[in-house]
Chains A and B, each alone.
Chain A
Amino acid sequence: MTTVTSQNKAARLSDSLDAQALLGMLSQMMAIRRFEERCAQSYQQAKIGGFCHLYIGQEAVAVGSVAGLQPGDPIITSYRDHGHALARGMHPNYAMAELFGKVTGCSKGKGGSMHFFDKPRHMYGGHAIVGGQCPLGVGLAFAIQYLKEPKVCACFLGDGALNQGAFHESMNLAAIWNLPIIFVVENNSYSMGTHIARGTAGAEDLSVKATAYGMRFARCDGMDVLAVYDCFKGLGDAIRSGQSGPVFVDCQTYRYKGHSMSDPQKYRTKDEVTTFEERDPINRLVNSLVESGRATQEQVDELDNQAKRQALDAVKYANESPEPDVQEEMFTDVYSQPYGPYKLGQLPIMLTDSEEGQST
């Protein structure tokens, strides 16, 4: 086992990022934050149904990791998937339309909050059974290795998934076959309302999970987008060049909101939430940029205003989008080679839209 820590090193990989790249990451985190705030509002207005899990507080993990990887690297995640889709570049309109169940959504209104997919951006889905995405992620990595492609799969999971058999089988398979995969635990300390210390053996030091499978381990501060970037840039390049096998990463982060929209959060104190909000990843990057003179407060404010406008526009787009033709759409996309009552469907508008669909 090798432990990689990105902190306290003289030179960091993120040191070479220019102001434009840093502002890009800031802009993405802001876009996710404002998008999620509009989600909460729309959920309360009953525009969004089902379960809705917000990413607020964890933005640095998706943004930093995606920035550190290559755009063609496949990513796959759990049901808390809005942030990953947006970080990968899914237009918020298609994301919000999906939440509204509209035919213009990324999954044509048939997936919902927990099932975002974006094929052109190599986003292999939000998956709603805890840990169920881990074997799929291993399959993506297997395919990369099979096809001898210089890619790395990032498989995101929550700390709750650490206790599922699917996770452990996946770690074992990745290790015995030396697959190009990074298992990313977005460790927000809670699987729904159960603190990690109550549900996970070895919770105080998750490196033991990697050790058990003879796998490389890394830990990074998931509240610091540059620390996440450093970690993933280093690991991604190491795996791609054959210098590293699979890696298990503990990204320590925090969700400010409940597990889902219906969570009264009686399992934690307001003080605990406040403590983490004081380490907010967006503020942290803003302060760093402004203090070092790489951006002005005005620039930062304008980015945030853009994010707010974009989120509001997404709500407008989703609201104004048509409902699916129920009888027509119900029976499409069940089979690729359909029979009987089933039909081939149109591709999601996201894919057919030439401006948004084909860029990677």
Chain B
Amino acid sequence: MTAMRQIQYREALNEAMCEEMVRDERVFLMGEEVAEYNGAYKVSQGMLDQFGARRVVDSPISETGFSGLGIGAAMYGLRPIIEFMSWSFCLVAADQIINNAPKMLYMSGGQFPVPIVFRGNNGAGGQLGSTHSWSVESMFASVPGLKMAIPSTPYDAKGLLKTAIRDDDPVFFLESERLLGFRGPVPPPEEDFTIPFGQADVKLPGSDCTVVALGRPVHFALQAAVELAKEGIFCEVIDPRTVRPLDIDTIVASVRKTNYLVIVDQTWPFASVAAEIAMQVYERAMDDLDNKIVRVNNEDVPAPYNRAMEQEMLPNVRKICEAVRAVTYAA
């Protein structure tokens, strides 16, 4: 294996799209400001120059229109990548993305697969107020027919996005604006690597408490693990990377080892991904738990604008440390 490079999360996304567009003529990118502006967040930097306006398409601000367009084009045999500048903006396209895309194959008796990727920034950006701070994973993960990936590192971003584009089913690909500039090791371009869906990654091995986290909060969990290690509590941090499919087996295996579980989830607690993971662990490993499962979710309020309030509303390092201490009786 050739040496890894350190590249940004946004560069990893860009490489994944470019490589797949070179590989498959049917793949195209459409979204607001993806072409001439080079991406509102520079994720599609240079793609218009490389692929031209036929395959890198600036759409007007019409989420219903262009997300539905992508679904129709996918039914016809193309493989669209539809970028939402923010997943917060996908809500106006809900009928298209959760009523049409994930149900088309089933309703047509298997006649019309919808190989499409919806991707964009997910989660609170930084004092954007409640309408622009959506984390959509809990709301959408309950819909059968779609797949969902939430990469937390440049490596995962590239490997999972390439898999998403090659997948024959609709994939909701949830990126993080706060991670776009984050650097990490990624294999060189000549190495065609992909990451299969449904395989969790143990971001940090540990013996004392399992901490499951997805997306940006994975980094909070890793920081918390550093703090807790100073206290002699060694966390095993697991990133499921995809929610549909969910690799519950890796989580359960870890819980069988540590006997404690904290789940970190940047959505509201009620009917959340964290609640689902907790339930699935209870179903499989109730007797292996030495305490109840503790969740660190968003507080159950709309995202506030005020900086201190926003930070306190989201999962953070302090809350995760408190949760781990409490669940392991070290509090």
Contact = CB atoms under 8 A, between A and B. Distances in A.
Interface of A: 74, 76, 105-111, 115, 117-119, 124-125, 127, 129, 132, 134-144, 146-147, 165-166, 169-170, 172-173, 176, 332-337, 339-340, 344-348, 351
Interface of B: 28, 54, 59-60, 62, 64-78, 80, 92, 95-96, 99-100, 104-113, 115, 144-145, 147, 167-169, 197-198, 245
- With most chain B CB atoms within 10 A of its CB, the pick from A124, A135, A340 is A135
A136 B71 contact: yes
Given A170-B68, A176-B60, A117 B107 contact: yes
17 contacts: A107-B107, A117-B111, A118-B111, A124-B112, A125-B112, A129-B99, A136-B69, A136-B71, A140-B73, A146-B78, A173-B59, A332-B110, A333-B108, A339-B245, A345-B109, A347-B111, A351-B111
A107 B69 contact: no
- With most chain A CB atoms within 10 A of its CB, the pick from B28, B73, B100, B115 is B73
Contact of B71 (A119, A139, A146): A139
A136 B100 contact: yes
A76 B95 contact: no
A181 B109 CA distance: 26
Contact of B64 (A106, A107, A165, A347): A165
Contact of A166 (B60, B68, B168, B169): B68
Contacts of B99: 129, 132
A93 to B, nearest CB: 15
Contacts of A146: 28, 54, 73, 78
Nearest to B114: A336
Contact of A348 (B60, B64, B68, B111): B111
B65 A135 contact: yes
Contacts of B60: 172-173, 176
Contact of B105 (A147, A169, A172, A336): A336
B107 A110 contact: yes
B72 A76 contact: yes
A138 B113 contact: no
A251 to B, nearest CB: 22
A142 B70 CA distance: 9
Given A170-B65, A336-B113, A142 B168 contact: no
A347 B110 contact: yes
A346 B109 CA distance: 9
A124 B108 CA distance: 9
A339 B145 CA distance: 11
B122 to A, nearest CB: 22
Given A173-B60, A173-B62, A337-B167, A139 B76 contact: yes
